[in-house]
Amino acid sequence: MSEFEKINLDDYIQTGEGGSSLTYNHKNGKTLAKLFKPGFEADRAKEDFLTSSTVYELGIPTPKPYRLLTDGSRFGAEYELIQNKRSLSRIIADEPERLNELSVTLARMVKKIHTTKADTSRIKSMKEKIRQFYLEKDLVPEDYKIKALQFIERVPDTPMCLHGDSQLSNVITDGKRTLWIDVGDFGYGVPEWDLCLLWSMTHYMDASKAEYIFHLKPETLRAHWDIFISSYLETTDKQRIEEFEHKILPFTSAKLPYIYDTVLRMRMPDIAFQHLIKRFG
């Protein structure tokens, strides 16, 4: 693993924790280290870094990636540190009166990504990532796997960018720049692959997880979705919005087992399969 530079964590201060990684600010105030939790292989950290580097080079606003690194047992990478930054979710938690403004901001940023043509020679198809998950890993019941693969086969593959996890906590601002973070699952395909995850988070996340990830209450997340999707679709027509929400239901069923594996490193609970399989029709 010579490509991973060894660091001394005494030079860093832990500042955050996500589902798959922890972040540490360097004491020099210029860089941030993102280290994956134990159980994540070096190859996962390398792929995350290479994708982040490609996204940065494509001009998507995101902190500059610098180098691969390890503390000796965990693997990750170092990035530009954005001083005095706050995520959109943290701002809404601190200033709830800005919910409408920042939900619309996120919708516009997501729409901009979804209307940006991808360099398909450098980033991966989200459809293929999820299809390979089902083909290579034995983490879902057989009947679920069959229905998921049948659905995935019907989904068109368009060469338009996807963030992979386009939600409020993955946009930060220092008041001058507004940037995407956690772009390691960046890919391309139809926008439903992005929006299905946001829909699921804003409709089914329990209070403890909503507080941990977003610093928000479930009812605030639901209100955020209503503002977001109306702005994203550029309509307030209830029927059109409900039709779109119905359209993304099978995408949630196809993607959630993949997210459990790639982010949480665990199999989705059996009871969830019983509910989600019905969305495939």
pLDDT in tens, 31-58: 999 999 998 999 999 999 999 999 999 9
Instruction: Map the chain to HEC letters.
Output: CCCCEECCHHHEEEEEECCCEEEEEECCCCEEEEEECCCCCHHHHHHHHHHHHHHHHCCCCCCCEEEEEECCCCEEEEEECCCCCEEHHHHHHHCHHHHHHHHHHHHHHHHHHHCCECCCCCCEEHHHHHHHHHHHCCCCCHHHHHHHHHHHHHCCCCCEEECCCCCHHHEEECCCCEEECCCCCCEECCCHHHHHHHHHHHHHCCHHHHHHHHCCCHHHHHHHHHHHHHHHHCCCCHHHHHHHHHHHHHHHHHHHHHHHHHHHCCCCCHHHHHHHHHHHC
Q: State both tokens at 53.
A: 């580097």
Domain 86-280, second-level architecture: Alpha-Beta Complex (3.90)
Q: Where are the domains of the chain?
A: 5-80, 86-280
Contacts of 155 (CB under 8 A, 6+ apart): 127, 189, 190, 192, 251
Single out the residue of 190, 231, 186 nearest to residue 60, CA to CA: 186
Single out the residue of 138, 132, 155 nearest to residue 251, CA to CA: 155
Task: Quote the CA–CA distance of 63 and 212 in Å, as a whole number.
Answer: 23
Given a contact cutoff of 8 angstroms between Cβ atoms, the answer to whether 186 and 207 are in contact is: no
Segment 153-183, tens digit of pLDDT: 999 999 999 999 999 999 999 999 999 999 9
Q: The whole model's pTM is what?
A: 0.93
Under CATH, which number does the domain 5-80 receive? 3.30.200.20
Q: State both tokens at 144.
A: 């679920």
Task: Please give the pLDDT value at position 16.
Answer: 86
Q: φ and ψ at 238, to 5 degrees?
A: -60, -40
List Cα–Cα distances, 31 to 19, 170, 185, 189, 277, in angstroms.
21, 18, 21, 32, 43
Task: Quote the CA–CA distance of 168 and 182 in Å, as a whole number.
Answer: 12
Task: Please give the pLDDT value at position 97.
Answer: 98
Segments of the chain with pLDDT less than 50: none
Residue whose tokens read 């991966």:
124
Burial 44-80 (b: 16+ CB within 10 A, else e): bbbebbbbbbbbbebebebbebbebbbbeebbbbbbe
Q: State both tokens at 263.
A: 């982010």
Task: Please give the pLDDT value at position 213.
Answer: 87
Task: Quote the CA–CA distance of 198 and 244 in Å, as a whole number.
Answer: 13
